[in-house]
Structure 1
Amino acid sequence: MSYDVGAGDLVLCVNAAPNHVTGEPVPLVAGETYRVYYVMPFLCPCGRSDALLDVGVGFAWCQTRFRLLPKPKKRQVTRKVTAPKEVETV
């Protein structure tokens, strides 16, 4: 594949078609995100990918069913700090 997927990455399911090897329906839902638990460097029987992904649903799925989502960027948030007003006695 053209991208590196690792354990803990979020992937988007883009292909929930029946299993391309056995023809059985798959429990994946197109458009849902899944967290990768394990990447198995094993050639898929279809020959389209070089890894199988374990996303906690079923056993392992061809990497071509998913697209890697970008990691969220950490945004710096500025917060107002309220300090008590000093009162000067006259």
Structure 2
Amino acid sequence: MTDAVGPGDLVLCVNAAPNHVTGEPVPLVAGETYRVIEVMGFACPCGRSDALLDVGVAFAWCETRFRLLPKPKFEARPRRVSAPKEKETIR
């Protein structure tokens, strides 16, 4: 996932289990979306990922806790152009 994820991307937390290194509870919420602030190229101490994600909560988290959400697709919609109506003058 490291290559696909970058700063500004939205990720979904899929694993809010206790910290797998220290065993402490984590402040992340399963099912919540977070915006990635930074991708750090350090290997996680657990050995399951090659990068840590900073999502603005506490410090950095193993990328295995998250799934990348697809970027919203831009839909071009035709816009209405309003033109003034012509008025007929009646004499």
TM-score, normalised by the number of residues in structure 1: 0.91
* Structural mapping, 1:28-67, within 5 Å: 28-67=28-67
- Aligned partner of residue 11 in structure 1, secondary structure: strand
- 1:27 corresponds to: 27
Q: Is the 8 A contact 2:2 2:51 kept in 1?
A: no
- Counterpart-to-counterpart distance in 1, 2:63 and 2:28: 13
Instruction: Give the superposition deviation at 1:4.
Output: 1.8
- Counterpart-to-counterpart distance in 2, 1:42 and 1:2: 11
Q: Which runs of 4+ in 1 moved over 6 A?
A: none
Instruction: Give the superposition deviation at 1:77.
Output: 1.7
Instruction: Give the superposition deviation at 1:3.
Output: 5.2
- 1:8 corresponds to: 8
- Counterpart-to-counterpart distance in 2, 1:59 and 1:89: 72
Instruction: Give the superposition deviation at 1:89.
Output: 3.2
Deviation larger for 22-31 or 74-83: 74-83
Instruction: Give the superposition deviation at 1:58.
Output: 0.6
- Aligned partner of residue 81 in structure 2, secondary structure: coil
- 1:87 corresponds to: 87
Deviation larger for 38-47 or 70-79: 70-79
- Counterpart-to-counterpart distance in 1, 2:2 and 2:26: 24
What runs of 5+ residues in structure 2 fail to find an aligned partner? none
Q: What amino acid is the match of 2:76?
A: Q
- Counterpart-to-counterpart distance in 1, 2:8 and 2:41: 16
Q: Is the 8 A contact 1:3 1:68 kept in 2?
A: no
Aligned residues: 90
Cα distance 1:64–1:27, how it changes in 2: closer, same or farther (>3 A)? same
Percent pairwise identity = 79
TM-score, normalised by the number of residues in structure 2: 0.90
